[in-house]
Amino acid sequence: MKGMQGLIIALVMAIAGGVCNWMYLANQADRYERMAFIKVDVDEIRIGDKFKEEHFAKVEIPRNALGNIETTAVKWSDLNTVVGKVAIRDYARDQILLHEDLRTPPTMPLNKLIGKDELYFWLPIDPRSLNPQQVNPGDLISFRVPRQGVPTPATGNLDGDATKPKAELGVSAIDEIIGPFRILALGNRRGSLEVAKAGGQTGGSESSIALVAEFRDGKFERKAARIIDINATTGMKGVQPLLHPANVK
């Protein structure tokens, strides 16, 4: 009986030792296993330059030190998809190439960027009240309209909830806030300024802005109809654009 107990104990210890050894080896393998990414291997790449294979080299990072690099950086195995693309910003030696660096200027027509119950419309923008270079398509914008000299409906603010009290918005009772609207384009630009420059797009005039609004049963939604009316009567003179935070939907 004692011999059998000793045999069982020895067998259990052997199994436990094997499991611990496997866990140790697995941990060491994870520590030393590496993933390869693309890094810049020249002194500089300037915005607008076309990526060449000789611009880059492989950089290996231990898997247990990756963090979010695995999802944001371009893998070395994807180098062939990078060559020939245009740099959208300046790069220095040893910078890791990110997926967001591979954007290209949008080419799809504007009317393919809106839904079936949406229309887009253009408004003039006074460059003294808005710097277009600080604004990108996809941003949300509203408009502050001084009530003095501008006819307004009796219901008040047009932000999608005509009943919302002015005090909640932190604005004067003499002002009207209309919006928000999604920006579709600024002049001819339909992407960020950096991407447009990298794609060789000329600056052009950005004194007009394309906005998206709902259009159902032959009518614009109320806030869109209101700002279109104001543009028709005032040419947007005295109207102040208001840019929303980037995380507001």
Which regions of the chain are under pLDDT 50? Answer: 7, 11-12, 14, 16, 19, 149-150, 152, 154-155, 161-163, 166-170
Which pLDDT belongs to residue 162? 42
Which pLDDT belongs to residue 230? 95
Which pLDDT belongs to residue 225? 96
Assigned CATH for 32-102: 3.90.1210.10
SS3 letters for the chain? CHHHHHHHHHHHHHHHHHHHHHHHHHHHHHHHCEEEEEEECCCEECCCCECCHHHEEEEEEEHHHCCCHHHHECEHHHHHHHCCCECCCCEECCCECEHHHHCCCCCCCHHHCCCCCEEEEEEECCCCCCCHHHCCCCCEEEEEEECCCCCCCCCCCECCCCCCCHHHHCCCCCEEEEEEEEEEEECCECCCHHHHHHCCCCCCCCCEEEEEEEEECCEECHHHHHHHHHHHHHCCCCCEEEECCCCCC
Which pLDDT belongs to residue 169? 47
Residue range(s) in the chain whose domain bears CATH number 3.90.1210.10: 32-102
Which pLDDT belongs to residue 249? 55
